[in-house]
Amino acid sequence: MIVVACPGQGSQTPGFLAPWLANDESRALVERFSDASGVDLTLHGTESDAETIRDTAIAQPLIVAASLIALHALRAAAPDSVIGGIAGHSVGEAAAAAGAGILSEDDALRFVRSRALLMADAAAATPTGMSAVLGGDQDAVVEYITGFGLEPANYNGGGQIVVAGALDALARLSEEPLRGTRVVPLQVAGAFHTHYMQPARDALAGAVADFSVADPKLTIWTNRDGSIVDSGASYLGLMVGQVASPVRWDLCMASFETAGITGLIELTPGGALTGLAKRGLKGVPAVAIKTPDDIPAAVELLTASAESEA
């Protein structure tokens, strides 16, 4: 069973979309997704600098669009291969929802556009940020950071927790890390997945009230607690709630392991979730699709899994 993983914010780098635009189908998708999201994805995916694409309102649509473009390419290259399941990290859940058939691709981009703008507004209200804490016992890290007034935002597994809160508190944590840990500031614009995002969550619930949803055609896991969700309406509600609650990617990986997955393919802009899988899903092969040149390796993983299950 192969699981497709859709990355979240922070995985983007300047120019990462450029290799995909050489393909006519991918270029047409970029144009369509630009219209749906209200963002010039060609410009920001090829020419904009790191600071520009750090902007939440640009980063989130850009990442989700790239993941869907890579998923199209993967399915086109391996039309007879079976993807066993799909999951997204943070905003990647919108790409997963489209990949599983819960939302249309255009609605997934419209959702992300609303999500990004509302989260950007919430982030602008109070200067906040996020840092990754590497190493240490998870419970000990959570207890320690609360002493700084910080909150756990992403439980990423593999010895990594992302914490969020006021910038001065994050600075103090960097100066006084828990023994045995390392603190790495992240290039994001606010304290996502914390109580700071409550206004965004409340407004987003209204913004998606008229969305059309379907039940998933693929097994899909939620960031809420790593469980499988069978209802499209429930999944959409969970995506809305996730804006202001921690991402439990650690529990998603635990569920992958319980399900007996035989491989993980991370969509564009890939790398972060593959790295976590190598530490949290030891022995499970993982492929990150960063450019079209990575598609053959992903197809090979799908083919090998199908042959082993035959």
CATH code: domain of residue 295: 3.40.366.10
Q: How far apart are CA 276 and CA 93, in angstroms?
A: 17
Q: Both 22 and 75 in a single domain? A: yes
| CATH number assigned to the domain comprising residue 160 | 3.30.70.250
For residues 118 and 18, membership in a common domain is answered with yes
Residues 55 and 202 in one domain: yes
Do residue 60 and residue 146 come from a single domain? no
Residue 306 pLDDT: 76
Let me know whether 70 and 153 are in one domain: no
Pairing state between β 85-88 and 219-220: parallel
Each residue of 57-111: pLDDT tens digit?
999 999 999 999 999 999 999 988 889 999 999 999 999 999 999 999 999 999 9
3 state SS of 143: helix
Select from 156, 185, 214 the last residue of a domain.
Answer: 185
pTM for this entry: 0.94
**166 and 45 both lie in a single domain:** no
- Residue 163 phi/psi, 5° resolution? -115, 160
Q: For residue 188, is pLDDT > 90? A: no
The domain total for the chain is 2
- Which of 185, 202, 234 is the last residue in one of the domains? 185
**C-beta separation of 240 from 204 below 8 A:** yes
Quick check: 192 pLDDT over 80?
yes
Q: How far apart are CA 147 and CA 169, in angstroms?
A: 10
Q: Are residues 14 and 160 in the same domain?
A: no
Tell me the pLDDT band of 310, cut-offs 50, 70 and 90. Answer: low
Domain boundary among 155, 185, 215: 185
The rounded distance, in Å, linking the Cα atoms of 63 and 41 is 10
Tell whether the model's pLDDT for residue 211 goes beyond 90: yes
User: Are 22 and 94 contained in the same domain?
Assistant: yes
| Token code pair at residue 244 | 């202001």
Reduced to 3 states (helix: H, G, I; strand: E, B; else coil), residue 153 is strand
Question: Are 66 and 201 within one domain?
Answer: yes
CA distance 126 to 200: 13
Answer yes or no: do 98 and 213 share one domain.
yes
Same domain, 224 and 293: yes
Cβ proximity of 136 and 159 under 8 Å? yes
Give catalytic residue positions. 90, 193
> What does the alpha-carbon distance between residue 60 and residue 36 come to, in Å, rounded to a whole number?
13
Domain of 248, in residue numbers: 2-124+194-309
Cis peptide before 269 (omega within 30 of 0): yes
Same domain for 95 and 209, yes or no, is: yes
